[in-house]
A = this chain, B = another copy of it.
Amino acid sequence: MVEERRPQGDASRDHHPHRAGELVLRLAGPDGSPLAEREVEVAQTRHAFGFGSTGFELIPHANGEEDAAALAEDWLGVFDTATLPFYRGDFEPRRGEPRTERIRTAARWFADRGVRLKGHPLVWHTVKAPWMDAMPLDAAWEETLHRIRREVGDFRGLIGSWDVVNEAVIMPVFENEPDGVPNAISRVARAKGRIPLIREAFAAARETDPGATLLLNDFDLSSAYECLIEGLLENGVRIDALGLQTHMHQGYWGEEAMLAMVDRFARYGLPLHLTENTLLSGELMPADIVDLNDYQPESWPSTPEGEARQADELERHYRSLWAHPAVQSITYWGITDAGAWLGAPGGFLRADGSRKPAHDALRSLVRGEWWLSPTRMRTDAEGVIRVSGTLGDYRVVAGGRAAEFAIERPGTDAALAPLTLR
């Protein structure tokens, strides 16, 4: 039976039932008796939706190499999901000497603050380890599978999701090498084919951490990515979520184009992660640049007009994606202009650390309109309260005791067992 899927994109600001739920809870004291007719305070502690950013900027702080407490506060004020860097050339510049400890310390720092983690990327042709260039292809591929198993194993329990293969569409035909030397990953991809490469990489990650969320991630959102995904799915390669990069250095696409793109990828029935989002608060990159890496002006300032535009576009971008049921997370590509990719003013903080309007704009959605701030409620004679809010984690407090719960599904749900405050 051939069934037509309807587009799901809808940029309206109306209530989105797929994002919220109501939970009927019976609260009990430590002795099991109902907390009847009591004042309690309920507050959301985290979104089910991932509001992410790169965590790169806080690695020195987490490792005690510098004090970036203000940056950390601004970061934690809007984000709950961090992407940590595993670029092979940086992570293991000398073969056999991975910088595992420094990244693990950062991962623990985030995890201690309730932040979910993603590792990026395990297989990519860029930021290569030059010591792999001259290896025979078999050995280079073995080294790659080895690093997948090593990293996924070393971070099991800390990092819950991985960009296993990054930019596979261009991988076998990539030639824009900064040093002019063909990288081993592209040569392996060309020789093996994309699908066997992805299948083996995912298998290595899956067997090392069967509980991890494994992503394919790409910036090429054309039919090429569709064709690759269709080939993988028809081959039975299990992909847990599709990563869609939307660096918008050349300008915001607008809700309509963005949702049309999201609809094209939503038709595979997989969760979508908008993995790399950038909106500039300065001049836009010229439209004729194809590889964004080819444009890196000496100075690229953030401007007042640019910052107003960025805040406006940011809100529209997040609202439109929040409205689409297939989107599970949005990861912004860097909170600060200091050290930003390409030197572009895409952060929510200026290079001097001060906040741009974009920070407030996002905060007012993520910790405002879409968030249940601490709210007083009163239980009934059976200790029952009804909590409505966006899907995510919550905490209820009464008289010095507390309990955690989650609103996991849209619609109204009743918790089966009483929730005991301790």
Contact = CB atoms under 8 A, between A and B. Distances in A.
A19 interface: no
Contacts of A138: 1-2
B5 A190 contact: yes
Contact of A230 (B1, B4, B188, B231): B231
A173 interface: yes
Nearest to A234: B195
Main secondary structure of the interface of A (DSSP, over half): helix
A137 interface: yes
Contacts of A188: 2
Contact of A227 (B191, B196, B224, B235): B224
A293 interface: no
Contacts of A225: 227
A264 interface: yes
A235 B231 contact: yes
A141 interface: yes
Contacts of A233: 193
Contacts of A228: 227, 230-231
A220 interface: yes
A291 interface: no
A14 interface: no
Interface residues of A, number: 37
A94 interface: no
Contacts of A194: 226-227, 230
Given A194-B230, A231-B228, A231-B234, A4 B222 contact: no
A403 interface: no
A191 B3 contact: yes
Tell which of A224, A225, A235 has the most Cβ of chain B within 10 Å.
Answer: A224
A170 interface: yes
A102 B258 CA distance: 48
A223 interface: yes
A232 B234 CA distance: 9
A401 interface: no
A256 to B, nearest CB: 13
A165 to B, nearest CB: 13
B227 A169 contact: yes
A2 B223 contact: no
A4 B191 contact: yes
Interface string A290-314: 0000000000000000000000000
Contacts of A234: 193, 195-196, 231, 234-235
Given A222-B222, A224-B223, A224-B227, A264 B173 contact: yes
A137 B191 contact: no
A187 interface: yes
Interface of A: 1-5, 137-138, 141, 169-170, 172-173, 187-188, 190-196, 220, 222-228, 230-235, 264, 267
20 contacts: A2-B137, A2-B188, A2-B191, A2-B192, A3-B191, A4-B137, A4-B187, A4-B190, A5-B190, A173-B223, A173-B226, A190-B267, A193-B233, A194-B227, A195-B231, A224-B227, A227-B227, A227-B231, A230-B231, A234-B235
